[in-house]
């Protein structure tokens, strides 16, 4: 496969994953605004920060309002991480690698673009948001479904999956990092309404507010939430799960090409950290430091993959 | 579809009966369905210079154009003769130049032509083939009467529309294909691959590695490039994927650099090799011409083939066909005035409102004047341009083109069309039965180019 094609697949799936995750973040933000007495537009700071665009937002909008934040996150094409931008880049990459995609996967991607471009071309009304977010998640789900149902399990599949999971691990770790302080035992007032509410918002951002209850007590506990999103391999958006997948997909590539790269070592080392670690140790050493370190190692892996498989040269 | 006496022409007989039994509202819905299929599939093109550079759909008409087997055979013979003559002509002008020495074509017309590449002089491409893929633009003026408008010998586009139009028709009206015996066009990608593999460099061992070279996703024909690569099962490469290493053109893959044997390039000559042609080109591959001249890669179509479909050369095609095949051309040329010749220029300026005037190097319907439909002011302005640079133009009369029916909301209406059959040349010539029919959608209009609002329709060649 061409290095450029591997690069296109990797980024196509990173962008599709990001679009879905941004939609989830907005969803959680709206939920907060709905349910919390005395909630303020300031809550959107956290959402923008989780999306990694808080500073950029400040360059476009002087004040923080829910309407502006939602607009910036969903439809502003000046924001490279808005859902519209992600869908646009994702689809452009899909067009570039079209010969590597099944007709179903391409059409699901192209239709997502056609549909969302139409819906996001006009200013959003608050009343339409729940439906819109649902459509975004559904469109991304259709792409994923077409991909899983029709693609050969070969190098094309592996590069696509690696893109998905590197992006997802990045997103989950950012969501946690923005709210890391509400998970610290020393500061949090265990069981207070405020904490429950903050914790639920974290879980909602990764669509895990229900599944949490299936794994842990129905009572929210900071350490359990961190454990769930970092170390639990059963949880499909946890860092541990993402690295299970990345390491196995890289392993298939290694078997295919008969060649091992630096990327394999980097991924294996990150996976080992997640496997060895206990949540108590992580909390003791500092959750924020752990997450910062994880984000930078995850980025390093991305660079190692693009070097090893000649994405650019 | 109908004769002067209002009977359906023989090839349309079955279709006409079927059509008469259809409900107009149903057909309007089908037209909408077709548009949705094209949009979802992403069968789009970009119009250069358009403000939002949006991807556009080419309007699709649901009434097929139907050609009888007999009429097609006649046409195919004429096309084959013409394509063989084009290749012989290219071989000659890059070698012995007998046609010039015989005084049939002026030397300066060839050697001063920007489409003539001195780099090709004395070089024989693998298999001796120059134009591997040709799209001959043809118009019909009456029963068995065809004229060639243009020989597209560089990188003719539109074949993906021929294939998708058929696919769409079969999806929407499967019953029509049981009622009518329509010859297959679906084999085109397989035949193209065979044809390309067949002209691999002689040193190529094993199965030749074929790739399609595209300028990238912003090119107006990108859809077609990806479609053809996909259908042939070969890589779609850009200039940045390729590099000359150890005398071979190699592509950067995830496993390292791998050599390419045959490159079907959809990039113009000028951009192919920045070391030989335009130095600023980022679309090409530095050094590919050296690899080519050393016989280590086949480029299809060969560089320098543009000289054969140049509009100034076009007027000499009857002589060219006769010179190389020894027979009179089976297909007619449209009478052409070369404005570089003073007597012709005088005639053209005097009759500007009756003529179609084209730039010698233009394509895509840009920069042309259709006298009969142009405003007086347009004609006057064009006359000034023409007088200033006469050698840049040719002129042709408007032909009494036959029309075919298209579907409009009120039923059927006649429109002018042309036809571009696709021809593959390797050790033999293969002509795909059918081609791309382009329609001038505006009533009375003669311009069929998609960049100027033309549409397309499926083209059926019936079996005997």
Residues B412-459: pLDDT tens digits? 899 999 999 999 999 999 999 999 999 998 888 877 877 777 899 999
Mutation pick from A77, A93, A98 vs chain B, by most beta carbons of B within 10 Å, is: A98
Q: End-to-end CA distance of chain B, in Å? A: 19
What chain B residue is nearest to A155 in terms of C-alpha separation? B254
Is residue B49 scored above 90 in pLDDT?
Answer: no
**DSSP assignment letter at B333:** E
> How close A237 comes to chain B (CA, Å)?
28
Structure confidence by residue, pLDDT tens digits, B92-136: 999 999 999 999 999 988 988 889 999 999 999 999 999 999 999
Instruction: Give the burial class of A140: count Cβ atoms within 10 A of its Cβ; 0-12 exposed, 13-18 middle, 19 or more buried.
Output: buried
Torsion on CA atoms A206, A6, B46, B212, rounded to nearest 10 = -160
- The phi, psi pair for A290, rounded to 5°, reads -60, -45
Overall average pLDDT of the B22-35 stretch = 92
Under a CB-based contact definition with an 8 Å cutoff, are residues B225 and B214 in contact?
yes
Number of CB atoms found within 10 A of residue A99's CB: 22
By mean pLDDT, which of A236-245, B103-112, B362-371 is the weakest? Answer: B362-371
Under a CB-based contact definition with an 8 Å cutoff, are residues A301 and A242 in contact?
no
> How close B254 comes to chain A (CA, Å)?
4
> How close A106 comes to chain B (CA, Å)?
8
Q: What is the pLDDT of residue B8?
A: 84
Cβ separation of B255 and A259 shorter than 8 Å? Answer: yes
Structure confidence by residue, pLDDT tens digits, B196-245: 999 999 988 899 999 999 999 989 899 999 999 999 999 999 999 999 99
> How close B196 comes to chain A (CA, Å)?
19
Q: What is the pLDDT of residue B44?
A: 80
What are the tokens at B456?
């397309």
Percent of chain A with pLDDT over 90: 72
Cβ separation of A98 and B230 shorter than 8 Å? Answer: yes
Structure confidence by residue, pLDDT tens digits, B57-70: 889 999 999 999 99
Structure confidence by residue, pLDDT tens digits, B300-336: 999 999 999 888 889 999 999 999 999 999 999 998 9
Q: What is the pLDDT of residue A38?
A: 57
Structure confidence by residue, pLDDT tens digits, B124-151: 999 999 999 999 999 998 888 899 998 9
Overall average pLDDT of the A239-250 stretch = 98
CB contact, 8 Å: A77 with chain B? Answer: no
Partners of A93 on chain B (C-beta within 8 Å) are: none
Mutation pick from B42, B54, B220, B228 vs chain A, by most beta carbons of A within 10 Å, is: B42
Nearest-CA neighbor of A208 among A21, A44, A15?
A21
Structure confidence by residue, pLDDT tens digits, A277-295: 899 999 888 999 999 999 9
CB contact, 8 Å: A95 with chain B? Answer: yes
What chain B residue is nearest to A310 in terms of C-alpha separation? B254
What chain B residue is nearest to A98 in terms of C-alpha separation? B226
pLDDT band per the 50, 70, 90 thresholds, residue B160: very high
pLDDT band per the 50, 70, 90 thresholds, residue B364: low
> How close B252 comes to chain A (CA, Å)?
6
Nearest to A114 among B39, B217, B241 (CB): B39
> How close B302 comes to chain A (CA, Å)?
25
Cβ separation of B252 and A3 shorter than 8 Å? Answer: yes
Query: What ipTM was predicted for this assembly?
Result: 0.84
Under a CB-based contact definition with an 8 Å cutoff, are residues B244 and B276 in contact?
no
Number of CB atoms found within 10 A of residue B69's CB: 14
Nearest-CA neighbor of A236 among A212, A270, A217?
A212
> How close A26 comes to chain B (CA, Å)?
28
Q: What is the pLDDT of residue B293?
A: 95
Under a CB-based contact definition with an 8 Å cutoff, are residues B222 and B50 in contact?
no
DSSP B223-270: HHHHHHHHHHT-EEE-GGGEEEETTEEEEEETTEEEE-SEEEE-S-HH
CB contact, 8 Å: A102 with chain B? Answer: no
H helix intervals, B139-198: 159-172, 174-179, 188-198
Cβ separation of A99 and B251 shorter than 8 Å? Answer: no
Cβ separation of A310 and B237 shorter than 8 Å? Answer: no
Between CA B424 and CA B432 the distance in angstroms is 8
Under a CB-based contact definition with an 8 Å cutoff, are residues B453 and B442 in contact?
yes
pLDDT band per the 50, 70, 90 thresholds, residue A14: very high
What chain A residue is nearest to B38 in terms of C-alpha separation? A107
Size of interface A-B (CB pairs under 8 A): 59
CB contact, 8 Å: A111 with chain B? Answer: yes
pLDDT band per the 50, 70, 90 thresholds, residue A152: very high
Is residue B47 scored above 90 in pLDDT?
Answer: no
Cβ separation of A107 and B222 shorter than 8 Å? Answer: no
pLDDT band per the 50, 70, 90 thresholds, residue A160: very high
Strands B298-300, B210-213: parallel, antiparallel or unpaired by DSSP? unpaired
Partners of A310 on chain B (C-beta within 8 Å) are: 252-254, 256
> How close B113 comes to chain A (CA, Å)?
36
CB contact, 8 Å: A106 with chain B? Answer: yes
Percent of chain A with pLDDT over 70: 95
Under a CB-based contact definition with an 8 Å cutoff, are residues B359 and B309 in contact?
no
Overall average pLDDT of the B177-183 stretch = 96
What are the tokens at B251?
């592509």
Nearest-CA neighbor of B64 among B461, B441, B423?
B461
Q: What is the pLDDT of residue A201?
A: 83
Q: What is the pLDDT of residue A190?
A: 54
Under a CB-based contact definition with an 8 Å cutoff, are residues A206 and A225 in contact?
no
Under a CB-based contact definition with an 8 Å cutoff, are residues B295 and B202 in contact?
yes
- The phi, psi pair for A275, rounded to 5°, reads -75, -40
Average per-residue pLDDT in chain A? Answer: 91
> How close B258 comes to chain A (CA, Å)?
9
Cβ separation of A2 and B241 shorter than 8 Å? Answer: yes
Number of CB atoms found within 10 A of residue B85's CB: 23
Q: Name residues whose C-beta falls within 8 Å of residue A230's C-beta, 6 or more positions apart in sequence.
A: A176, A238, A239, A240, A274, A277, A279, A282
For A200-222, give one letter per residue: b (16+ CB within 10 A) or e: bbbbbbbbbbebbeeebeeebbb
Q: What is the pLDDT of residue A187?
A: 54
> How close A13 comes to chain B (CA, Å)?
18
What are the tokens at B385?
């341009």
**DSSP assignment letter at A216:** S
Mutation pick from B217, B236, B254, B266 vs chain A, by most beta carbons of A within 10 Å, is: B254
What chain B residue is nearest to A105 in terms of C-alpha separation? B41
Nearest-CA neighbor of A163 among A11, A6, A311, A268?
A11
**Largest CA-CA distance found in chain B, in angstroms, rounded:** 69
Q: What is the pLDDT of residue A124?
A: 93
Partners of A259 on chain B (C-beta within 8 Å) are: 255
pLDDT band per the 50, 70, 90 thresholds, residue B411: confident
Overall average pLDDT of the B22-36 stretch = 92
* Cα A146 to the center of its chain, rounded Å: 20
Under a CB-based contact definition with an 8 Å cutoff, are residues A228 and A235 in contact?
yes
Instruction: Give the burial class of B174: count Cβ atoms within 10 A of its Cβ; 0-12 exposed, 13-18 middle, 19 or more buried.
Output: exposed
Cβ separation of B252 and A313 shorter than 8 Å? Answer: yes
Nearest to B253 among A2, A103, A313 (CB): A2
pLDDT band per the 50, 70, 90 thresholds, residue B464: confident
Half-sphere exposure of B429 (CA within 13 A, CB side): 20
Locus of tokens 């199965």: B207
Q: What is the pLDDT of residue B400?
A: 77
Between CA A81 and CA A138 the distance in angstroms is 19
- Rounded to two decimals, the pTM is 0.89
Nearest-CA neighbor of B31 among B406, B414, B461?
B406
**DSSP assignment letter at A123:** P
What chain B residue is nearest to A305 in terms of C-alpha separation? B254
Under a CB-based contact definition with an 8 Å cutoff, are residues B296 and B201 in contact?
yes
CA distances (Å), origin A152, targets A16, A91, A236: 19, 20, 22
Between CA A238 and CA A279 the distance in angstroms is 13
Cross-strand partners of B397: B355
Percent of chain B with pLDDT over 70: 96
CA dihedral over A18, A21, A23, A26, signed as positive or negative: negative
Q: What is the pLDDT of residue B50?
A: 52
Q: Name residues whose C-beta falls within 8 Å of residue A212's C-beta, 6 or more positions apart in sequence.
A: A203, A220, A224, A225, A228
Q: What is the pLDDT of residue B101?
A: 96
Overall average pLDDT of the A27-39 stretch = 75
Between CA B316 and CA B274 the distance in angstroms is 32
Query: ∠ CA(A22), CA(A155), CA(B225), 5° rounding?
Result: 85
Structure confidence by residue, pLDDT tens digits, A113-134: 999 999 999 999 989 999 999 9
What chain A residue is nearest to B225 in terms of C-alpha separation? A99
Nearest to A310 among B40, B217, B252 (CB): B252
pLDDT band per the 50, 70, 90 thresholds, residue A109: very high
What are the tokens at B26?
């149903």
Q: What is the pLDDT of residue B445?
A: 80
Nearest to B236 among A6, A99, A259 (CB): A99
**DSSP assignment letter at B209:** P
Partners of A146 on chain B (C-beta within 8 Å) are: none
Q: Is B82 helix (H, G, I), strand (E, B) or coil?
A: helix
Number of CB atoms found within 10 A of residue B400's CB: 9
């Amino acid at each position: 496969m061409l290095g450029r094609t591997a690069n296109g697949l990797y980024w196509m799936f990173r962008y599709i994953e990001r679009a879905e995750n941004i939609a989830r973040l907005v969803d959680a933000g709206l939920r907060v605004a709905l349910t919390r007495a005395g909630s303020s537009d300031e809550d959107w700071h956290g959402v923008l920060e989780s999306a990694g665009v808080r500073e950029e937002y400040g360059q476009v909008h002087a004040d923080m309002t829910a309407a502006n934040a939602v607009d910036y996150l969903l439809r502003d094409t000046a924001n490279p991480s808005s859902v519209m931008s992600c869908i646009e880049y994702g689809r452009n990459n899909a067009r570039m690698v079209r010969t590597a995609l099944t007709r179903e996967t391409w059409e699901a991607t192209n239709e997502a673009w056609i549909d969302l471009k139409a819906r996001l071309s006009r200013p959003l009304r608050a009343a339409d948001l729940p439906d819109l977010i649902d459509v975004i998640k559904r469109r991304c789900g259709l792409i994923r479904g077409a991909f899983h149902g029709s693609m050969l399990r070969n190098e094309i599949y592996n590069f696509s999956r690696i893109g998905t999971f590197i992006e997802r691990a990045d997103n989950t770790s950012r969501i946690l990092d923005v709210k890391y302080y509400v998970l610290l035992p020393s500061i949090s007032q265990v069981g207070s309404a405020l904490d429950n509410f903050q914790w639920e918002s974290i879980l909602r951002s990764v669509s895990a507010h229900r599944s949490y209850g299936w794994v842990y007590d129905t009572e929210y506990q900071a350490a359990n939430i961190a454990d769930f999103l970092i170390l639990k391999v059963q949880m499909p958006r946890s860092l541990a799960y993402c690295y299970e997948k990345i390491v196995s997909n890289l392993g298939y590539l290694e078997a295919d090409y008969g060649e091992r790269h630096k990327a394999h070592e980097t991924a294996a080392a990150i996976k080992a950290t997640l496997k060895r670690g206990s949540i108590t140790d992580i909390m003791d050493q500092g959750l924020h430091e752990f997450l910062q370190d994880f984000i930078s190692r995850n980025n390093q892996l991305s660079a190692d993959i693009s070097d090893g498989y000649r994405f650019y040269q | 579809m109908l004769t002067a006496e209002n009977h359906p022409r023989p090839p349309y007989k079955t279709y006409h009966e079927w059509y008469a039994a259809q409900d107009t509202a149903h057909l309007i819905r089908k037209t909408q369905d077709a548009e949705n299929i094209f949009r979802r599939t992403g069968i789009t093109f970009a119009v250069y210079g358009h403000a939002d550079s949006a991807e556009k759909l080419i309007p699709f008409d649901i009434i097929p154009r139907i050609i009888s087997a007999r009429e097609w055979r006649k046409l195919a013979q004429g096309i084959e003769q013409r394509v063989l003559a084009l290749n012989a002509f290219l071989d000659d002008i890059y070698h012995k130049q007998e046609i010039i020495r015989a005084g049939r074509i002026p030397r300066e017309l060839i050697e001063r032509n920007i489409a003539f590449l001195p780099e090709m002089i004395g070089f024989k491409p693998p298999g001796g083939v120059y134009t591997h893929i040709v799209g001959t633009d043809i118009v019909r003026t009456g029963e068995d009467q065809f004229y060639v408008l243009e020989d597209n010998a560089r990188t003719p586009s539109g074949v993906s529309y021929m294939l998708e139009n058929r696919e769409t028709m079969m999806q929407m009206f499967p019953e029509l294909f049981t009622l009518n015996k329509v010859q297959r066009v679906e084999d085109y990608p397989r035949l193209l691959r065979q044809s390309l593999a067949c002209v691999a460099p002689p040193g190529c061992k094993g199965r030749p590695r074929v790739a399609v070279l595209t300028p990238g996703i912003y090119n107006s024909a990108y859809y077609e490039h990806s479609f053809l690569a996909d259908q042939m099962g070969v890589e779609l490469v850009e200039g940045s994927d390729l590099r000359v290493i150890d005398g071979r053109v190699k592509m950067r893959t995830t496993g390292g650099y791998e050599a390419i044997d045959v490159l079907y390039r959809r990039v113009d000559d000028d951009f192919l090799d920045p070391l030989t042609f335009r130095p600023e080109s980022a679309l090409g591959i530095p050094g590919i011409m050296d690899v080519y001249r050393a016989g280590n890669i086949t480029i299809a179509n060969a560089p320098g083939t543009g000289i054969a479909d140049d509009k100034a050369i076009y007027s000499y095609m009857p002589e060219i066909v006769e010179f190389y095949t020894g027979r009179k051309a089976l297909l007619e040329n449209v009478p052409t005035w070369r404005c570089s010749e003073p007597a012709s220029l005088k005639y053209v300026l005097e009759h500007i409102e009756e003529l179609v005037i084209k730039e010698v190097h233009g394509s895509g319907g840009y920069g042309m004047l259709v006298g009969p439909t142009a405003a007086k002011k347009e004609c006057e302005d064009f006359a000034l341009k023409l007088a200033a640079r006469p050698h840049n133009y040719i002129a042709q009369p408007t032909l009494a083109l036959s029309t075919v029916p298209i579907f409009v909301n009120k039923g059927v209406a006649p429109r002018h069309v042309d036809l571009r059959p696709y021809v593959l040349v390797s050790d033999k010539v293969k002509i795909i039965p059918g081609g791309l029919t382009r329609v001038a959608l505006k009533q009375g209009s003669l311009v069929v180019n998609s960049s100027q609002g033309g549409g397309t329709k499926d083209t059926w060649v019936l079996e005997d």
